[in-house]
């Protein structure tokens, strides 16, 4: 991954060519990548709310040993791990 930011004095800076002022705010490569990252984190957080509901439905149907149940449980654990990593870096 090509970094768009670089560390500076406990924060980060971005090259001015990667951010462009516009009439409604800033845009550019750095802003677009930040937006995609924020979408990714929101999707992970939403799945942490939705997956337990799906797991409960499968439990109610007695399908705890089904492929789908195991797949959802694995996704829940993986997403939880990623969110934990993000939190440990002060994100999310």
Give the separation between CA 19 and CA 47, rounded to whole angstroms. 31
58-92 residue pLDDT tens: 999 999 999 999 999 999 999 999 999 999 999 87
Q: What is the pLDDT of residue 91?
A: 87
Would you place residue 2 in the very low, low, confident or very high pLDDT band (cuts 50, 70, 90)?
A: confident
Torsion of CA 37, 39, 43, 44, to 10 degrees: 20
| pLDDT tens by residue, 26-43 | 999 999 999 999 999 999
Please report the pLDDT score of residue 43 as a whole number.
96
Locate the domains of the chain by residue range. Answer: 5-88
């Amino acid at each position: 991954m090509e970094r768009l930011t670089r560390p500076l004095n406990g924060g980060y800076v971005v090259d001015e060519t990667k951010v462009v002022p516009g009439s409604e705010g800033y845009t550019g490569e750095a802003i677009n990548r930040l937006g995609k990252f924020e979408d990714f984190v929101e999707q992970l957080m939403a799945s942490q709310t939705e997956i337990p509901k799906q797991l409960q439905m499968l439990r109610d149907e007695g399908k705890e040993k089904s492929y789908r149940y195991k797949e959802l449980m694995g996704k829940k654990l993986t997403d939880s791990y990623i969110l934990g990593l993000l939190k440990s870096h002060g994100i999310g």
